[in-house]
Structure 1
Amino acid sequence: MVTDRYGNPLHACTPETAGHLDRAVEALLHFRPEVEQAVDDALRSGPASPLAQCFAAYLGMLGTEPAEAVTARRRFDRYAAGVDVLSLPPRERMHLAAAAAWLAGDLRRAAGLLEELSLAYPRDALALAVGHQLDFFTGDAVRLRDRIGGALSAWDTADPHRGLVLGMYAFGLEESGHYRLAEEAGLAAVEQNPRDVWAIHAVVHTYEMQGRVAEGIGYLDARRADWAQDNYLDVHNWWHYALYALEAGDTDTALRIYDASLHHDDSSGLAMELLDAAALLWRIRLAGAEPTSRWQALADAWAARADPPFYAFNDVHAVMSYVGAGRLEEAARLIADRRRWLDRPDSGTLADADADAGTVTNRRMTAEIGLPACEALLAHGRGDHAAVVELLWPLRRRLHEFGGSHAQRDALQRTLLDSAIAAGRHEQARVLISERIGLRPDSSYNWSARARLADGLGDAALAAGARDRAREAAAAAAEALRAR
Structure 2
Amino acid sequence: MATDRYGHFLYEGTEEGAAHLDRAVEALLFFRPEVVTAVGDLLASDPVSPVGQAFAAYLGVLGTEPADAAVARGRFAAYAAGLDRTALPPRERLHTAAAESLLAGDLRRASGILERLALAYPRDALALFVGHQLDFLTGDAVRLRDRVGGALSAWDADDPHRGPLLGMYAFGLEECGHYDRAEEVGAAAVARHPHDVWAVHAVVHTHEMRGRYAEGAAYLEARAGDWSGGNFLAVHTWWHYALFALEAGDTDTALRVYDANLHNESSAGLAMELLDAAALLWRFHLAGLDQAPRWEALADSWTTRADPPFYAFNDVHAVMSYVGAGRPAEAERLIADRQRWLERTGAGDLTNDVMTAEIGLPVCRALVAHAHGDHGTAVDLLWPLRRRFQEFGGSHAQRDAVQKTLLESSLRAGRHDLARALISERTGLRPDSPYNRLSQARLAAALDGGAKESVR
- 1:3: Cα distance to partner? 1.0
Q: Which residue of 2 aligns with 1:408?
A: 398
- 1:288: Cα distance to partner? 1.2
Pairing 1:77–2:102 present: no
- 1:214: Cα distance to partner? 1.2
Pairing 1:268–2:268 present: yes
| Distance 1:253-1:274 versus aligned 2 partners, 3 A rule | same
Q: Which residue of 1 aligns with 2:453?
A: none
Q: Which residue of 1 aligns with 2:160?
A: 160
Residue 307 of structure 1 aligns to a residue whose secondary structure is coil
Give CA deviations for 1:299-331 in whole Å, capped at 9, x if unaligned. 000000000111000000000000000000000
Choose between structure 1 and 2 for higher RCO, CA contacts under 8 A separated by at least 6 residues: 1
- 1:413: Cα distance to partner? 0.2
Q: Which residue of 2 aligns with 1:365?
A: 355
Give CA deviations for 1:178-230 in whole Å, capped at 9, x if unaligned. 10110000000000011000000000000000001111011001110000011
Q: Which residue of 1 aligns with 2:289?
A: 289
Q: Which residue of 2 aligns with 1:25?
A: 25
Which whole-Å CA distance do the structure 2 matches of 1:94 and 1:459 have between them?
63
Which whole-Å CA distance do the structure 2 matches of 1:251 and 1:287 have between them?
11
Q: Which residue of 2 aligns with 1:218?
A: 218
TM-score by length of 2: 0.98
| Distance 1:38-1:345 versus aligned 2 partners, 3 A rule | closer
Q: Which residue of 2 aligns with 1:438?
A: 428
Which whole-Å CA distance do the structure 2 matches of 1:48 and 1:337 have between them?
39
Q: Which residue of 1 aligns with 2:375?
A: 385
1:427 to 417, 423, 429: 417
- 1:348: Cα distance to partner? 3.5
Q: Which residue of 2 aligns with 1:312?
A: 312
Which whole-Å CA distance do the structure 1 matches of 2:423 and 2:119 have between them?
42
Runs of 4+ aligned residues of structure 1 deviating over 4 Å after TM superposition are none
Pairing 1:137–2:127 present: no
Residue 344 of structure 1 aligns to a residue whose secondary structure is helix
Unaligned runs of 5+ in 1: 350-359, 461-484
Contact in 1 for aligned 2:347/2:357 (Cα 8 Å): no
Q: Which residue of 2 aligns with 1:188?
A: 188
Give CA deviations for 1:92-149 in whole Å, capped at 9, x if unaligned. 0000000000000000000000000000100000000000000001100000000000
Give CA deviations for 1:146-166 in whole Å, capped at 9, x if unaligned. 000000010000101101101
Which whole-Å CA distance do the structure 1 matches of 2:129 and 2:262 have between them?
25
Pairing 1:39–2:29 present: no
Q: Which residue of 2 aligns with 1:242?
A: 242
Which whole-Å CA distance do the structure 2 matches of 1:234 and 1:383 have between them?
35
Identity, % of aligned positions: 71
Residue 20 of structure 1 aligns to a residue whose secondary structure is helix
Which whole-Å CA distance do the structure 2 matches of 1:71 and 1:129 have between them?
22
Contact in 1 for aligned 2:427/2:436 (Cα 8 Å): yes
- 1:287: Cα distance to partner? 1.0
Residue 51 of structure 2 aligns to a residue whose secondary structure is helix
Give CA deviations for 1:261-315 in whole Å, capped at 9, x if unaligned. 0000000000000000000000011111011000000000000000011100000
Pairing 1:258–2:258 present: yes
- 1:442: Cα distance to partner? 1.1
Contact in 1 for aligned 2:347/2:354 (Cα 8 Å): no
Residue 282 of structure 2 aligns to a residue whose secondary structure is helix
Residue 153 of structure 1 aligns to a residue whose secondary structure is helix
List aligned pairs for 1:80-99, cutoff 5 A. Answer: 80-99=80-99
Which whole-Å CA distance do the structure 1 matches of 2:245 and 2:288 have between them?
16
Which whole-Å CA distance do the structure 2 matches of 1:171 and 1:7 have between them?
27
Residue 165 of structure 2 aligns to a residue whose secondary structure is helix
- 1:347: Cα distance to partner? 5.5
- 1:233: Cα distance to partner? 0.4
Residue 150 of structure 2 aligns to a residue whose secondary structure is helix
Which whole-Å CA distance do the structure 2 matches of 1:301 and 1:109 have between them?
32
Pairing 1:9–2:9 present: yes
Unaligned runs of 5+ in 2: 451-456
Q: Which residue of 2 aligns with 1:147?
A: 147
Which whole-Å CA distance do the structure 2 matches of 1:346 and 1:435 have between them?
37
Which whole-Å CA distance do the structure 2 matches of 1:226 and 1:76 have between them?
35
| Alignment RMSD | 1.0
Residue 194 of structure 2 aligns to a residue whose secondary structure is coil
Which whole-Å CA distance do the structure 1 matches of 2:449 and 2:249 have between them?
24
- 1:346: Cα distance to partner? 5.1
Contact in 1 for aligned 2:144/2:172 (Cα 8 Å): yes
